[in-house]
Amino acid sequence: MSGGLHLTVTKCRAFGFILVFIGSIMTVGLSVYFLAVRPNYPAANSCSSPKRPLSQSNFLGGLWSNKSVLVENVIRLPRTVLPRHYDVRLWPILEKGNSTVLGRVTIDVQCLQSTDRIVLHSSDINVDLKSVQVIERGAVEESLFIEGVDYETVTEFLVIRLNVERKVKLAKGTNYTLSMNFVANLTDTSAGFFRSVYIEDGVERYMAVSQMEPTDARRVFPCFDEPNMKAIFTVTLGRHRDMMALSNMPLINTTKMNGMEDFYWDHFAPSLLMSTYLVAFAVANFTKIEADVDNSNWKFNIYVRTSAISQAQYAKVIGPKTQTFYENYFQVPFPLPKQDLMAIPSAFVGAMENWGLLTFGESVLLYDEDVSSLDDRQTVVELVTHELAHQWFGNLVTMDWWTELWLKEGFTSYVECLGADFVDPSLERLQQFVTSGLQTVMRLDALESSHPISILVNHPDEIGELFNDISYKKGAAITRMLASFIGDQSFRDGLTYYLRIHQYGNAVQDDLWNAFDKQAKLDRIFLPTKVKTIMDTWTVKMGFPVITVQRDYMSRNISVTQKRFLIRKSNSTTADTTVYLWWVPLTYTADFETIETNWLADNQSSKNLTLESEIGMNNWIIFNINETGYYRVNYDAHNWKLIAQQLMTNHTVISVINRAQIMNDALNLARAGLLHYETPLNLTKYLEREVEFLPWESTLTALSYLNSMMQRTPGYGLLKNYVMKLLLPLYNSLGFVHRTSDSHLTGKLRRKVVQCICFMGHKDCITRAIESYSQWMADPGNITIVPSVVKGVVACTAIRHGGELEWNFAFKRFRESNVASEKATLLSSLTCTQESWILAKMLEMCLNPAVGFRTQDALDVIKTLAENPIGRFMTFNFVREKWPEMTKIFNSIHSLAHVFESMTKSFNTDMELKELSDFVGKNKELLVSAMTRSTQQSIDRVRSNLSWMRQNYQQVVNWLQQNNPATST
């Protein structure tokens, strides 16, 4: 399509939106028409909702900015008028130099309370004021007299005022039809209706797809954009002959666009009752892959760009299987006639659960068995099972308001593990949750600056910030704890009850607690108090407790107390009146055969519990069986010794998860100053015989703090040699090559071991990695030379110990790869270089997307470079110098906060503290408000690193000297 079109918009009723091409002045004609009637709109708002909670957790954001308090009553829409049905007609213009969506919306509303105005949401949309009509349904087809249409910038409200003088009002109980034409933006930001540009067969291609959650539907069409204002949506999309259009519901028919050669309208079936954030649109030139579904009431399809078809096979197999699993698990059928999964090239990361049209970034949906790694397969399972679980938890029953976001995200993050365990048990997903979910979020939740799961939010900025690890992982961890204390069957039946009662509606967390209470009563499950009372202590208070177990070896009594666990001592002066006590479900054993249970109450008087026992003084006791409880456990010195002895003599008596829990708790307790380092370091000795992934993963994660503190100290050699000695037996038995008999977790363990041991400088490991990489360089087309499971480590090691050639090879592959997950692995390997000039070049490439890295990759590159021991200082210098430029290019404050965090988290000298404070002091005005908090956190963290060094460094070095073999690598 060259040139453009001239556009005429006639004022008609619903569906009367006729677009006429007349030759070649499209853009001009369009803007002239709409600008002429443009009301007072705000400037384009660039800080739209943040995405991707896990890779770029917004944990450091400004949840504390308290905008909620300011806007609490004004930011929510009035409930005088409610939407019942939307007719949305959109035509995204997919041509170079144009970024518009032409639209018309017709909304059937019901008036609940007499009013002289209709208030709905709209943001960055040009409404054709002349086209706005409000017609009483069933009455004469004449619009009520509209006095004016106002736009309120802060609230993103579009206010349609009826004529007060003439006493024009909407009457209670009456239905009206509101309609208008508009032009919205086809953005480049993955928010609202956006354009994704990708290269296929050397040709630049465009597609359009929507991302509404949490509050971007209002950027696409004027709507009542709150999760509890559910309605039915009937969608019509305009597209070119060569494209296809998709929406939540199936296509019912296609009509020619009036006067527009080559353009069509696709009409979709009306939806079920749903929230605006789940509405989805897509227009693309994609290929459809139909999955085999037997005995189902729905069809299941995957949509991908044509050259990626072969990578969709895995999703095609696991998708329908998972959906059937959830139908059985929840005992509620999937209610839509079809489910589409769409892989979006470029720009889009993560995934979104739009009802009936799930969207995924390519790297998390597509999987190439030969090129992608085991972790990539796991990612596909995680995202597919997560988004499919939302079809019930979120889509069918929706949280009443964003404050309860965790209800859908946290619950789903637990339920997805059940789905994954069904669809691909070899992944042992639920078991992995202990390290990847629970222990990960405990690290954050142990900070004084954490926040509760339930938190008041109102302003869109605050809503976006809630998509963080606290909502997801803590939410999932406390859900897992609940499932454990009420039992899996009651948990499942309680959920079914909740879903059936609230389907097509909205719910608050108390509705869920009530459902479980009812079920627990029915199933005669003993609970010390109401589920709500128990769970409120975990959702309303931030943090979690450490349980201290003190045994009296004479009387055999065990005393249990609780106290909030904080990783570092507080400097805070602000008064916090919260009583940090929880309802704690206790589980304990002395043999892993008989498990005892009990409860610690959340009140002062019963916060100490004395348990009677028969356990002899030479037998250990272990609390928090399989770490189902969201807390840490500390013991008296003798019990720690007994546990250490058991690990040394026969560690398999203790469950795999508890081995992981013991190591992680002990190392974190020592870091927090609650335990002498001797205890956890003594425990690590048994690891020479540990062959399971989980205990290794949790120990190495906890040890990484020691690693980062000691990396630039004289004691590092001792630490390195000791850890290498522990890893060596495994390295020797696992090697580099995946065996078909190996489990998924063995594969993950191999990668971890090779990664650590190569990183720590083990000669054999480095030589093998370099050899393998050079063979690949000599034969680039041969994808089997480097086993995919260790591809990242091999590339990273070869680049770290190599030069320009090695780096260039990976860069070329990165550019050319058709597999998104391989691209991500190579991108991260590129940051392993130790050549200062290449590091400098990479930093520069980050600010120059045209020849360097795309903006969304650049932030990851800078963050990873900041963790490279050599790159760290260069990155700090670079960031200091380019800060003004960076704040312009990367307009997400949260992402910049993460760069800042990565860069400074291992600073631990007075000099580094001074440099950091100087930088923050000098750039106050550039470290915009939301960053103030995270920069302050960085300074606090460096201070606490300094104090860790003072208190623990020598202690650790002394222990290592006494226990270190005089080995060399």
What residues make contact with Zn ion under the rule CB under 5 A?
409
386 is an annotated ligand-binding site residue:
yes
Is residue 474 close enough to count as binding ligand BES by CB under 6 A? no
Residue 847's φ and ψ, nearest 5 degrees, are -100, 5
Minimum separation from the CB atom of position 759 to ligand BES (A): 27
Hey, is 198 helix, strand or coil? strand
The dihedral over CA atoms of 112, 117, 118, 121, expressed in degrees to the nearest 10, equals: -130
Minimum separation from the CB atom of position 214 to ligand BES (A): 6
Q: How far is CA 894 from CA 60, 641, 854, 881, 931, in A?
A: 7, 44, 18, 20, 8
Contact 504, 272 (CB under 8 A): yes
Is 234 or 468 the residue whose CB approaches ligand BES more closely?
Answer: 468
Q: How far is CA 697 from CA 454, 681, 748, 790, in A?
A: 30, 16, 9, 16
Closest CA relative to residue 728, chosen from 406, 427, 967 = 967
Q: Which of 103, 350, 545, 680 binds ligand BES (CB under 6 A)?
A: 350
Is residue 824 close enough to count as binding ligand BES by CB under 6 A? no
Minimum separation from the CB atom of position 677 to ligand BES (A): 35
Q: Which stretch binds ligand BES (CB under 6 A): 378-386, 623-631, 785-793, 813-821?
A: 378-386
Distance CA 867, CA 381 (A): 29
Q: Which of 9, 21, 52, 63 binds ligand BES (CB under 6 A)?
A: 52
Ramachandran region of residue 74, left (φ > 0), alpha (ψ -120 to 50) or beta?
alpha
Closest CA relative to residue 127, chosen from 36, 195, 257 = 36
Is 53 or 545 the residue whose CB approaches Zn ion more closely?
Answer: 53
Q: Which stretch binds ligand BES (CB under 6 A): 156-164, 351-359, 420-428, 575-583?
A: 351-359
Distance CA 169, CA 61 (A): 43
Minimum separation from the CB atom of position 502 to ligand BES (A): 19
Is 286 or 348 the residue whose CB approaches ligand BES more closely?
Answer: 348
**Tokens standing for 213?**
């959650």
Is residue 748 close enough to count as binding ligand BES by CB under 6 A? no
Q: Site size for ligand BES, by CB under 6 A?
A: 19
Q: Which of 9, 21, 51, 814 binds ligand BES (CB under 6 A)?
A: 51
**Tokens standing for 415?**
């339920």
Is 54 or 159 the residue whose CB approaches ligand BES more closely?
Answer: 54
Contacts of ligand BES in 555-574 (CB under 6 A): none
Contact 581, 541 (CB under 8 A): no
Minimum separation from the CB atom of position 654 to ligand BES (A): 31
**Tokens standing for 912?**
């580094």
Minimum separation from the CB atom of position 479 to ligand BES (A): 14
Is residue 356 close enough to count as binding ligand BES by CB under 6 A? no
**Contact of residue 383 among Zn ion, ligand BES, none (CB under 5-8 Å per partner type):** ligand BES
Is 345 or 715 the residue whose CB approaches ligand BES more closely?
Answer: 345
Read out DSSP for 623-651?
ESGGG-SSSEEEE-HHHHHHHHHHHHHHG
Minimum separation from the CB atom of position 391 to Zn ion (A): 11
Q: Which of 124, 156, 213, 428 binds ligand BES (CB under 6 A)?
A: 213
Closest CA relative to residue 406, chosen from 364, 356, 457, 461 = 457
**Contact of residue 633 among ligand BES, Zn ion, none (CB under 5-8 Å per partner type):** none
Site string for ligand BES, 390-409 (x = CB under 6 A): x------------------x
Is residue 347 close enough to count as binding ligand BES by CB under 6 A? no
Read out DSSP for 846-879?
HT-TTTS--HHHHHHHHHHHTTSTTHHHHHHHHH
Is residue 517 close enough to count as binding ligand BES by CB under 6 A? no
451 is an annotated ligand-binding site residue:
no
Beta 622-623 vs 584-589: how paired, if at all?
antiparallel
Closest CA relative to residue 319, chosen from 293, 285, 353 = 293
b/e map of 285-313 (b: 16 or more CB within 10 Å)?
A: bbeebebebeebebebbbbbbeebbebbb
Q: Which stretch binds ligand BES (CB under 6 A): 46-54, 107-115, 720-728, 868-876?
A: 46-54
Is residue 54 close enough to count as binding ligand BES by CB under 6 A? yes
Distance CA 252, CA 270 (A): 10
Cα four-point dihedral sign 875, 879, 880, 881: positive
**Contact of residue 800 among Zn ion, ligand BES, none (CB under 5-8 Å per partner type):** none
Q: Which of 353, 461, 517, 536 binds ligand BES (CB under 6 A)?
A: 353
Read out DSSP for 280-307?
-EEEE--EEEEPP-SS-SSEEEEEE-GG
**Contact of residue 421 among Zn ion, ligand BES, none (CB under 5-8 Å per partner type):** none
Residues designated catalytic: 387
**Contact of residue 54 among ligand BES, Zn ion, none (CB under 5-8 Å per partner type):** ligand BES
Q: Which stretch binds ligand BES (CB under 6 A): 104-112, 345-353, 601-609, 620-628?
A: 345-353
Minimum separation from the CB atom of position 263 to Zn ion (A): 35
Is residue 715 close enough to count as binding ligand BES by CB under 6 A? no
Distance CA 288, CA 296 (A): 19
Is 104 or 429 the residue whose CB approaches ligand BES more closely?
Answer: 429
Minimum separation from the CB atom of position 350 to ligand BES (A): 2
Is 413 or 937 the residue whose CB approaches Zn ion more closely?
Answer: 413
Report the residue closest to ligand BES, judged by CB.
Answer: 350
Is 386 or 898 the residue whose CB approaches ligand BES more closely?
Answer: 386
**Contact of residue 382 among Zn ion, ligand BES, none (CB under 5-8 Å per partner type):** ligand BES
Distance CA 596, CA 589 (A): 6
Is residue 386 close enough to count as binding ligand BES by CB under 6 A? yes
204 is an annotated ligand-binding site residue:
no
Residue that the structure tokens 């407790």 belong to: 545
Is 379 or 519 the residue whose CB approaches ligand BES more closely?
Answer: 379
Of all helices (H) and strands (E), which one includes residue 442?
Answer: helix 440-445
CA 240-241-247 angle, 5° bins: 65
**Tokens standing for 103?**
């639209």
**Tokens standing for 884?**
């003004």
Binding site feature residues for Zn(2+): 386, 390, 409
Positions in the binding site for ligand BES (CB under 6 A): 49, 51-54, 213-214, 350-353, 382-383, 386-387, 390, 409, 467, 472
Binding site feature residues: 386, 390, 409
